[in-house]
Structure 1
Amino acid sequence: MLRLLSLLVCLFIAARLQAEDWPVWRGPTGNNIAAPGQNLPEKFGEKENVVWKIRVPGRGHSSPIVVGNRIFLTTADEKKQVQSVVAFDRTTGKQQWKTDINQGGFPDVHKANTHASPTIACNGETLYALFHNHDRLQLAALSLDGKKQGDVNAGAFKPQQYQFGCGLSPLLYKSLVIVPLEYEQGDMAAFEQKSGKEAWRVPRKQITFSSAIVAPLAGRDQLLLSGQGNVQAYDPTTGAQLWSVPGATAATCGTVAWEGDMIFASGGYPDADTVGIRVSGTPEVLWHVKEKCYEQSLLAHNGYVYGVNEAGIAFCWRGSDGNEMWKTRLCGPTSASPVLADGVIYQADERGKFIAFRETPEKFEKIFETRIGDEIYATPTICNGRMYLRTADGSGDERRETLYCFGKGTAASP
């Protein structure tokens, strides 16, 4: 009886954390799906259902994470070459602190990238922020109050063929923080969260830009990555490769999605390929579709897969066989990934257009369309009845970033 009570308490706490926090890239369950019961407004925009908005210093494409009563972002002052972590009050939006992590050593990056694109990961006590500088990836640890707790050189990161910069986010698994460092001479490494000591490192000598994810598949946790024409799984505890199947082209940026015993990956460059892979038994590719969601991650739910490509075309495929359910022009050029809350999928494009549509495989059904700023690259975050969205207005020296909080009424304390 005592064991059952303890289990129920643990499940209750976990559910509460999932409902109120969004501590890592793609949320607490790793699938970009908000906990049920968000009760977001039917519509919102620059002047509609705005709980608060606040200026964000610098420039970055990282998505906000939410832990306790704070929101955390990475940002970069590109003129001074300073990379920082910033915290905001979740209830009011007021900036609470800003901690500089690195100065100098900024690499050349793609014009659509920034020097603060990886999303922070948090285990509830410590923030883990990843920055590309001085031809390496720097993994920094901070307290929730912004005090530096140390950093490690995660490894060299010196791509030669594609000097696009870094956009992958660190991944937390049990006591580890995992970082892919994929380029011509790259690898993937895991570090102890408390000490920064390297736990394992395996070769990943390939050019790709995807964040890793851990999914419960075939009775065990599997660390998933795509790139170099393959989708691969590793043991997240040891780094040992579990399997590899062909698919998703050479260069990919999106995170692998999954549901049940199926995983889904898309890319990329130079070819277009979206694949569905069954993992139970011997992993095998069940279907290919010659479409690509290159920078954007897919969304898998209730037996269907939703994706938006870089040109703003939205797709719905049946997860079991890849059958196209519908396809529509949704928006303009797109980098952000779709996020789901209570049967509604939200998508932003690079020109500030923001669209909501229903999670319906039978047909595309738009709910509303608005414009929020001049550009949106970061994926929205949804938790505790609020959506947090990073946007920008203007260009050049006049460019300014804003963090919006949308919701009904005033913000409730978590």
Structure 2
Amino acid sequence: MQTENGNRKGPGELMTKTNRRRGAAVMVLAGLLAIGSPLSADLPSAASTDWPEFLGPRGSSRAPATSRIPLRWNDRLNVLWRTSLPGRGWSSPVVAGNSIWLTVSNDRNRSLQLLQLDRLTGKVVKTHRVIQVGDPGKIHPKNTHATPTPVVADGSVYVHFGTHGTARVNTDGQVAWSTNLPYYHHHGPAASPVAVGELLIVTCDGFTRPFYDRLRRPGVTSPQFVVALDRRTGQPRWRKPRANGRHSYSTPMILDTGDRRQVISAGGDRVISYDPTSGRELWWVRYTGYSVVPRPVAGPPGSGLIYVCTGYDNPRLLAIRTGGSGDVTATHVAWQHAKAIPLNPTPLQVGDALYLVNDAGIASCLDARNGSLRWRRRLGGHFSASPLLVDGHILAINETGTTHVLDPGRRYRRLALNRLKGRTLATPAVTGNRLLIRTDRELVCVGRE
């Protein structure tokens, strides 16, 4: 069997064999990312099998450097197990210890649940019923009521179901607390919570009124806001309304630049940096856009940059310097790009490059420091899931189960094209030498252990 460039490879050969020359460089890069990169609570070591939040450790979209997965797979090749999932949901799996966690909605979306699976066998250990909803209301048909990804920290799993509720679940399944954050989540819940220190940060960038139905939500005091909950009690530590914003669905990032820690949240018409302890607005950049989904992304170590996608209707990618104060729109946008920008998938930073896969299946590689285009190629299909860096390769899965395995570099090079049955809108997760792919009907574990 050959790659598109003619190199011979076995049908199930591990990715590491295609990337020996870059192996040491990837190890060094993983260590450097601890400086000036997103942080998540209770980070696992590089050798850990944990995948604690949306987009993995540090929210960085990359697996630990020790992870090894097959280069090729399909429904009959290199599948260790597959488990049918009850109900609906597009949350990504998260992993802590020997447990996989993901959310589903059942009983006509009135029962919001947390599934616990055995990491090694895929067996459903228990279904934890977290929140019961009288009338969930209507949402966008492409979305589900169980789309936000849980976050695992300090032996607890934190789940968010939009306006339906937010909860802390102990690993024995006991709900330690639950709380409601009333807002009109419009197209449905989507932004995932993040943990920083003793806080759980949740963005609630809703609409101004009911849209898909006439269901009025009691207690709505502001259409968009960011809130920090005490992780022990669920009580609000601070809450900041978004001034002059519009509805959005982006998961915030935690950035530690050495001199200060920031919560950076992209919303409608602006991205705002908050002090995580007080909620004070540190800086913001204005733009024109709404329904922002991609998570902000940290730039290369030492660059001082983050990258933000601006959403509908004319998406742009902004590279922003993070050292400012107040309104830095005119002074801290280092560069911007306006072609083939994703509306849903989060960009991926690798080395000195930024990789984009937009919803129409167009992949681009930009210079991460100045935004110049290195290559652009149409992959085919539609994409909602975000690309990941695993074993030195880029994995990009489209909405019909096809994963493109790309070699990061200054030239486009596809190494494999792997197909599974089912719809795939959730971003995969990595645990050790295993890749977890959620379809609309099951969780599939790819590996060679």
Q: TM-score, normalised by structure 1?
A: 0.88
Show CA shifts across 1:61-108 (max 9, x none).
000000000000000115262110000000111100001122332121
Shift in Å, 1:217: 2.7
The residue number in structure 2 matching 1:29 is 58
Shift in Å, 1:36: 0.3
| 1:231–1:14 distance in 2 versus 1, CA, 3 Å | closer
Out of 148, 155, 165, the position equivalent to 2:175 is 148
Out of 157, 160, 184, the position equivalent to 1:158 is 184
Letter in 1 for 2:144: T
| 1:247–1:300 distance in 2 versus 1, CA, 3 Å | farther
Contact 1:222 1:233 in 2 (8 A): yes
The answer to which of 41-50 and 14-23 deviates more is 14-23
The residue number in structure 1 matching 2:224 is 186
How many residue pairs were aligned? 381
The residue number in structure 2 matching 1:269 is 312
In structure 1, distance between residues paired with 2:44 and 2:254:
19
Structure 1: which 5+ runs fail to align?
1-12, 393-400, 410-414
In structure 1, distance between residues paired with 2:412 and 2:130:
44
Letter in 1 for 2:436: Y
Out of 367, 371, 393, the position equivalent to 1:344 is 393
The residue number in structure 2 matching 1:238 is 278
Out of 165, 175, 192, the position equivalent to 1:169 is 192
Show CA shifts across 1:296-344 (max 9, x none).
1111121211111111111111111111111111131111000111220
SS in 2 for 1:346: strand
Contact 2:273 2:283 in 1 (8 A): yes
Show CA shifts across 1:343-362 (max 9, x none).
201111112222111111x1
In structure 2, distance between residues paired with 1:349 and 1:178:
29
| 1:157–1:111 distance in 2 versus 1, CA, 3 Å | same
Letter in 2 for 1:130: H
SS in 2 for 1:168: coil
The residue number in structure 2 matching 1:229 is 269
CA RMSD of aligned residues (A): 1.8
Matches within 5 A, 1:214-225: 214-217=254-257, 219-225=259-265
In structure 2, distance between residues paired with 1:241 and 1:18:
36
SS in 2 for 1:16: coil
SS in 1 for 2:354: strand
In structure 2, distance between residues paired with 1:265 and 1:128:
25
In structure 2, distance between residues paired with 1:263 and 1:340:
18
The residue number in structure 2 matching 1:395 is none
| 1:281–1:187 distance in 2 versus 1, CA, 3 Å | closer
SS in 1 for 2:45: helix
The residue number in structure 2 matching 1:127 is 157
Moved over 4 A (4+): none
Contact 2:43 2:58 in 1 (8 A): no
In structure 2, distance between residues paired with 1:74 and 1:370:
26
Shift in Å, 1:18: 6.5
In structure 2, distance between residues paired with 1:264 and 1:236:
20
In structure 1, distance between residues paired with 2:138 and 2:257:
38
Shift in Å, 1:228: 2.5
SS in 2 for 1:29: helix
Out of 435, 445, 449, the position equivalent to 1:387 is 435
Q: TM-score, normalised by structure 2?
A: 0.81
The residue number in structure 1 matching 2:20 is none
| 1:14–1:290 distance in 2 versus 1, CA, 3 Å | closer
Letter in 2 for 1:157: Y
Matches within 5 A, 1:17-166: 19-77=48-106, 79=108, 81-103=110-132, 104-132=134-162, 136-153=163-180, 155-159=181-185, 163-166=186-189
In structure 2, distance between residues paired with 1:296 and 1:255:
8
Structure 2: which 5+ runs fail to align?
1-41, 209-222
Show CA shifts across 1:2-46 (max 9, x none).
xxxxxxxxxxx9553773200111212111111102121121221
